[in-house]
Structure 1
């Protein structure tokens, strides 16, 4: 069952963006970059580390460096449910 982005944010997830620099398998002196974004939990970042583990095990381009940032979009205390709507003429 898919969880919406809003539900993830209310559970404490924030948007993590990572820029991954890696070497080309055939040309080790050439660096390439890959941008990845997903909702993740700080400070452990389980989804980011799962991606890094997958990269090291399955992808031939060796990692050079990773730069990432994390930002919570909505905190649980900032969300409130609106039950009704009033219109004024």
Structure 2
């Protein structure tokens, strides 16, 4: 139920691909995929996660790609013109 109330407040499914330097081999990049509900275009939840990453984890972030999509949209529902029943 919490995710539905967030979606009704314009939170959207947000996916971020985070490329980071491996701590033991800084010349190599590793990919991490993060997914959560967030508000575009400011992305406060993603920013909080990236702040945690920089503070607590060893791998330095190289780049972040973000994709977002609303799960509930006004045109996602349509009314049926007719109802047929078979017995």
Tell me the C-alpha RMSD between the 2 structures: 2.0
Q: Give TM-score, length-normalised by structure 1.
A: 0.79
Unmatched segments (≥5 aa) in structure 2: 78-84
Aligned position for 1:5: 3
Q: Give TM-score, length-normalised by structure 2.
A: 0.81
Structure 1: 4+ residue segments shifted above 3 A: 77-80
Counterpart mapping for 1:56-67 below 5 A: 56-67=54-65
Q: CA deviation at 1:26?
A: 1.2
Aligned residues: 81
Find the residue that maps to 1:54 and give its secondary structure: helix
